[in-house]
Amino acid sequence: MSYSLRRATGWNLTGYLYLLLASFATTPTLIRALGLAAYGQYALSLALAGLISTLDLGLPRAVVYFLSQSGLTPSKRQEILNSSLFAFSLLGFLFFLPAAIFHSLSLGILIWLNFLLAHYLSLPESRGDFARVNLRNFLVGTANTVGAMLVALAGFGVTGILYLLSFSTLLTIILVYVPAHPFSSRQTLKAFFVYGVKSWLGKLVGSVQGQYAKFLLASSPLALASYTLGSSLISRLVGGVTQVSTALFPYSVSARGNSRFRHLYLRLQLSLVLLGVLATLLYQAFGLPFLSWWLGDYSLAASVHSFLLIYRFYALLLLLTPLASTVIDSLGKPLMTSFLGLATLVIEVTFTWVYLPQLGLLSPAYGALLSLILIVPVLLIYTERILRQIGNLSRSTPDA
């Protein structure tokens, strides 16, 4: 199929909005059914799964990068897919063992299946077939929202939810299955790892950034639940931008030198600034009443609100990072985004660790905000500079 940025973005935003609504509708019931302590255990299990899943050495982005190259022959494309299947299967097994031994079999199976799913989604993503890519949002997302709520109400607890997530992941793999011959190329594997490791650090840093505070706040169920809910709301806001940037990646790989690509990027970033300002103002006016109505627990709502009063400004800056990082990665310079991500993490974790005794729940909010105040200008300036250097090489029109 021909690549359409508009169609790809539409499917990604549809999947994102579905998850947003499903999570919004089910989270309060899930918390009541599990209780704060079990909900905290559930959040930590997913945090651990998320962290381990990012130890993929950047292979998902690397595979999509090589599959998105123009002029690939069918045999070369098949060779890339074979190498990808081998690499993801091996990585999944290596992380399955410690997760199953030291945590639970249910978590180990989920982690292994997540690695396999990353392989099977790579080909449709590189082709812009985000209808298939978003099967993960619709199937796994339903299991993690509506399914998790029903499992909790039935009394099966966190283990039952993890097994349900594994089943939905396996079902997604079956539905997006791409046949491949059981052999791989050493040369292709080497190219994956060379590109992938450069971008992997940034992905790992992002995962640690999103999860480390949960472990620091684990001793307080209220603080842990408040951070989980507050950061989850922000991640869902930024998730829409991530869906746009994911849709943009294959196009930006093939559109290097396109004279209009820089203008498209700038228009998208300006739109995100306006969206972020609007969201910040709306939360100031309606945030606490909304949280109280949604959660049905004023003390929990007030705790989440105190966190979000600071964290919303972090979200405003965070909205500007996915597109810039994607552009840099697509231009073959993922190491730069990785280094900037590492610098962000060091600043954030250092601040949070030092001021955790004094600020408690607010320490990760202030740490995250400080890190982006320092790093986002560097990221945006670098992205604009590199776009100026390679842009204006052709006058082709994007296939929107």
In a domain, 296, yes or no: yes
pLDDT of residue 396: 42
What separation, in Å, do the N-terminal and C-terminal C-alpha atoms of the chain show? 14
Region class of 41: left (phi > 0), else alpha (psi between -120 and 50), else beta: alpha
Beta bridge partners of 258: 394
Q: Are 332 and 66 in contact (CB under 8 A)?
A: no
Per-residue pLDDT of the chain (400 residues; tens, 9 = 90+): 455 677 778 878 888 888 888 888 999 999 999 998 899 999 999 889 888 888 888 888 888 888 888 777 888 888 888 898 899 999 999 999 999 898 889 999 999 999 999 888 888 888 777 778 888 888 988 999 999 999 999 989 889 999 999 999 999 888 887 443 344 567 777 777 777 777 677 677 777 888 888 888 988 889 999 999 998 888 887 777 777 787 777 777 766 556 677 888 888 889 989 988 998 999 999 999 999 999 998 999 999 999 999 999 999 998 888 888 888 887 777 778 888 888 999 999 999 999 999 999 999 999 999 999 999 999 999 988 888 877 644 444 444 4
Query: What six digits make up the tokens of 345?
Result: 């993490």
**397 within some domain:** no
Q: What φ, ψ does residue 258 adopt, rounded to 5°?
A: -65, 125
d(CA 245, CA 204): 18
Beta bridge partners of 200: none
Please tell me the total count of domains within the chain.
1
Dihedral over Cα of 29, 222, 307, 45: its sign:
negative
For residue 199, CA distances in Å to 123, 196, 338 come to: 19, 5, 6
- Residue 249 domain-assigned (yes or no): yes
Amino acid at 123: L
Assigned domain for 395 exists: no
Is residue 276 assigned to a domain?
Answer: yes
CA atoms within 13 A on the CB side of 368: 28
Exposed/middle/buried for residue 185 (C-beta within 10 Å: 0-12, 13-18, 19+): middle
Examine residue 399 and state whether it is found in any structural domain, yes or no: no
For residue 223, CA distances in Å to 47, 250, 302, 304, 311 come to 16, 40, 11, 8, 14
Closest listed residue to residue 361, CA positions, set 205, 216, 187, 191:
216
Residue 250, in any domain of the structure: yes
156 occurs within a structural domain? yes
Model confidence, pTM: 0.67
Structure tokens at 281: 């103002």
Which residue bears the tokens 């978590």?
107
Q: Residue 394: what are its φ and ψ, rounded to 5°?
A: -150, 170
The 3-state secondary structure of the chain reads CCCCHHHHHHHHHHHHHHHHHHHHHHHHHHHHHHHHHHHHHHHHHHHHHHHHHCCCCCHHHHHHHHHCCCCCCHHHHHHHHHHHHHHHHHHHHHHHHHHHHHCCHHHHHHHHHHHHHHHHHHHHHHCCCHHHHCHHHHHHHHHHHHHHHHHHHCCCHHHHHHHHHHHHHHHHHHHCCCCCCCCCCHHHHHHHHHHHHHHHHHHHHHHHHHHHHHHHCCCCHHHHHHHHHHHHHHHHHHHHHHHHHHHHHHHHHHCCCECCHHHHHHHHHHHHHHHHHHHHHHHHHHHHHHHHHHHCCHHHHHHHHHHHHHHHHHHHHHCCHHHHHHHHHHCCCHHHHHHHHHHHHHHHHHHHHHHHHHHCCHHHHHHHHHHHHHHHHHHHHHHHHHHHHHCCCECCCCCC
Q: What is the spatial distance between Cα 238 and Cα 223, in angstroms, rounded to a whole number?
A: 22
What is the model's pLDDT at position 182? Answer: 40
- Exposure of 388 by Cβ count < 10 A (0-12 exposed, 13-18 middle, 19+ buried)? exposed
Residue 109: which domain range?
5-390
